[in-house]
């Protein structure tokens, strides 16, 4: 599920960090921009061999795969307007006065955004420019003004994708923004056509950033996609001349990353090709050979009760991010349903796993790992592999009924401690799709000293 904040506080903090480190962002953004023509990072292995560092604990390794993601969305006033019109007649006059003052403030802010102002006709612009003075002794006049301003606000806030793309930072700062936070992680798709790296421990292949679709397109999980005005990723940079230790760096990614989704609308996944210079960024990738395969499920390699681990955003510490520090939580596999269950994509039936693991706002997109040795009748230590991607939680409401949700809700309900998990096999289907294969073929063709793609 995503964590949602209704203020622009986080956006301001992210922008402040961005301004302080603008010079350092260039390498990240340029590297990702290259991926638009070369869709994933290809490691050539040209660096000299080095000794591998001592291995980290497994939990330390999975934390290095994590990035924090943020989608800034324009607030949708549709439901607010409907509710306002339904309750306006019952409002006390003083509440009506407060409401019209709020609407005057909102419309005046939108009026300073050229794209919003262009959506109004001459009479509406003239009315906005008039000196309206609320009068509590004229309730019908207050109600009339409220209704008019509410409708105008809807028009001014209904910006098109082209309008949003052309917003200046000054205009963006005027808009009412909601922040939706989530988690992403890196995976690596091995390609035999890419020479192995001589650097010990260095993985070669194509690197992808993975998260839930509803993290990238908030609202799509309920069939009402929000209008995203900006997206950001926070990743850890290695020490440099300006920092003596690893530090978190925020980068705007909506203009440089292209996201792909499953053809199956019940699959809550989003995948983007991305390249991060390993000499600049402190991160790790999960190779596809560490994925749980569909054959493993059929051969009963997994069992209910197997231990699971996941890592992701701890939303309560997001405002204090200096070094990206994901939280690690644990639980057990609860169910491997043979049939279809409601998913986080508008309750469309699909294939999901259920885990007895408490997830919360911001954990959407977190990778979940499973120890397949616990009940395997073997004497061995833990053997964790990628089970899937957390997409939501199961809420238990006051009527003791369960429903799948992705966001923190204002309704009466408790987290049942059951999380929904998109099987990693669904991710593998996307990575092996014809579209992604063509992207890799095109990238290989542009690399020197590589074997041509098979015919």
pLDDT in tens, 180-205: 999 999 999 998 888 777 666 666 78
Q: Does residue 157 sit in the same domain as residue 198?
A: no
Compute the average pLDDT of residues 120-145.
90
Shared-domain flag, residues 116 and 165: yes
Measured CA to CA in angstroms, residue 273 lies from 72, 238, 242, 269, 380 at distances of 21, 22, 29, 14, 36
Is position 433 within any domain? Answer: yes
Residues 199, 112 share a domain: no
**DSSP 3-state of 325:** coil
Q: Are residues 283 and 375 in the same domain?
A: yes
69 within some domain? yes
Domain match, 56 and 82 both:
no
Give the residue from 326, 342, 328 showing the smallest Cα distance to 394: 342
Cα–Cα distance measured from residue 107 to residue 210, given in angstroms and rounded to the nearest whole number: 38
Indicate the angle between helix axes 78-87 and 139-157, nearest 10 degrees: 170
Shared domain check, 82 and 43:
no
What mean pLDDT is predicted for residues 423-443? 95
Nearest to 367 by CA among 56, 71, 64: 64
Asked if residue 451 belongs to a domain, the reply is no
Task: Give the pairing of strands 286-287 and 177-189.
Answer: parallel
Instruction: For the beta carbon of residue 417, count every other beta carbon within 10 angstroms.
Output: 15
pLDDT score at 136: 81
Final residue of a structural domain among 122, 149, 172: 172
Whether 36 and 155 map to the same domain: the answer is: no
For the segment 339-375, what is each residue's pLDDT rounded down to a tens digit?
A: 999 999 999 999 999 999 999 889 999 999 999 876 6
Let me know the angle formed at the C-alpha of 175 by 174 and 181, rounded to the nearest 5 degrees. 125
Could you tell me if 162 and 184 lie in one domain?
A: no
Whether residue 406 sits in one domain with residue 354? yes
Question: Does 401 map to a domain?
Answer: yes
Helix, strand, coil percent values for the chain (each to nearest 5): 30, 25, 40
The mean per-residue pLDDT over the stretch 111-138 comes to 92
Cβ(371)–Cβ(383) below 8 Å: yes
How far is C-alpha 244 from the geometric centre of its chain's CA atoms? 29
Lowest-pLDDT choice from 108-112, 226-230, 412-416: 412-416
Q: Other CB atoms closer than 10 Å to residue 176's CB: what's the count?
A: 17
Q: What is the mean pLDDT of residues 131-158?
A: 91
Asked if residues 422 and 392 have their Cβ atoms less than 8 Å apart, the reply is no
**450 occurs within a structural domain:** no
* Nearest CA among 323, 285, 307 for reference residue 68: 323
How far apart are the C-alpha atoms of 44 and 194, rounded to whole Å?
7
Domain end call among 151, 172, 193: 172
Total domains in the fold of the chain: 2
Backbone angles phi, psi at 267, to 5 degrees: -90, 115
Write down the pLDDT at residue 407. 44
Distance, CA of 451 to CA of 201 (rounded, Å): 23
* CATH number for the domain harbouring residue 356: 2.40.10.120
Separation of CA 49 from chain center: 36
For residue 288, being part of any structural domain is answered with yes
CA 259 to chain centre: 11
Tens-digit pLDDT profile for residues 277-318: 888 999 999 999 999 988 888 888 888 999 999 999 987 666
Q: Picking from 78-87, 90-99, 317-326, which range would have the lowest pLDDT averaged per residue?
A: 317-326
Q: Is the pLDDT of residue 151 over 90?
A: yes
Report pLDDT for 195.
79
Report which DSSP code applies to 122: H
Of 35-39, 194-198, 260-264, the range with the lowest mean pLDDT is: 35-39
In a domain, 194, yes or no: yes
φ/ψ bin of 345: left (φ > 0), alpha (ψ from -120 to 50), beta (otherwise): beta
206 and 347 in a single domain? The answer is yes
Closest C-alpha to 228, from 174, 180, 183, 170? 180
Q: Per mean pLDDT, which range of 45-49, 141-145, 169-173, 217-221 is the poorest?
A: 45-49
Half-sphere exposure of 202 (CA within 13 A, CB side): 22
* Domain end residue (candidates: 138, 172, 206): 172
Show the domain range for 152. 78-172
With respect to residue 230, please indicate whether it lies within any of the assigned structural domains: yes
Residues 260 and 358 in one domain: yes
CB-based contact 436:32 (threshold 8 Å): no
259 and 395 both lie in a single domain: yes
pTM of the full structure: 0.83
């Amino acid at each position: 599920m995503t964590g949602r904040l209704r203020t622009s506080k986080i956006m301001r903090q992210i922008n402040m960090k961005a301004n302080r480190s603008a010079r350092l962002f260039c390498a990240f953004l340029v590297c990702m921009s290259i991926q638009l023509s070369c869709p994933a990072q290809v490691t050539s292995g040209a660096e000299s061999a080095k000794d591998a560092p001592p291995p980290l604990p497994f939990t330390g390794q999975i934390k290095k795969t994590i990035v924090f993601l943020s989608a800034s969305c324009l607030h949708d006033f549709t439901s607010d307007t409907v509710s306002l019109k339904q309750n306006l007649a019952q409002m006390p006059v003083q509440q009506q006065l407060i409401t019209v003052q709020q609407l005057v403030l909102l419309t005046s802010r939108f009026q300073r955004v050229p794209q919003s102002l262009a959506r109004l006709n001459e009479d509406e612009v003239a009315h906005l420019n008039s000196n309206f003075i609320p009068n509590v002794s004229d309730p019908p006049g207050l109600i009339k003004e409220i209704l008019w301003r509410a409708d105008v606000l809807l028009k001014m806030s209904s910006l098109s994708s082209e309008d949003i793309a052309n917003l200046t930072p000054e205009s963006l700062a005027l808009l009412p923004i909601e922040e939706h936070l989530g988690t992403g992680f890196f995976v690596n798709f091995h390609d035999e056509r890419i020479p192995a790296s001589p650097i010990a421990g260095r993985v070669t292949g194509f690197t992808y950033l993975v998260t839930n679709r509803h993290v990238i397109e908030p609202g799509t999980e309920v069939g009402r996609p929000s209008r995203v005005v900006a997206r950001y990723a926070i990743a850890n940079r290695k020490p440099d001349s300006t920092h003596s230790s690893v530090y978190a760096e925020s980068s705007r990614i909506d203009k440089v990353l292209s996201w792909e989704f499953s053809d199956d609308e019940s699959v809550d996944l989003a995948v983007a090709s991305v390249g991060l210079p390993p000499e600049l960024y402190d991160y790790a990738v999960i190779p596809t050979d560490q994925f749980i395969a569909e054959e493993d499920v059929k051969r009963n390699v997994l069992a209910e009760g197997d231990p699971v681990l996941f890592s992701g955003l701890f939303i309560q510490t997001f405002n204090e991010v200096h070094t990206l520090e994901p939280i690690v939580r644990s639980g057990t596999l609860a169910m491997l349903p043979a049939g279809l269950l409601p998913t986080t994509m508008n309750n469309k039936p699909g294939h999901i796993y259920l885990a007895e693991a408490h997830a919360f706002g911001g954990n959407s997109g977190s990778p979940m790992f499973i120890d397949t040795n616990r009940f395997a009748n073997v004497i061995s230590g833990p053997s964790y592999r990628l089970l899937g991607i957390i997409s939501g939680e199961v809420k238990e409401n006051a009527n003791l009924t369960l429903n799948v949700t992705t966001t923190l809700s204002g309704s009466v309900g408790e987290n049942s401690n059951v999380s929904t998990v998109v099987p990693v096999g669904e991710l593998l289907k996307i990575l092996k799709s014809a579209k992604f294969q063509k992207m890799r073929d095109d990238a290989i063709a542009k690399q020197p000293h590589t074997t041509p793609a098979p015919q």
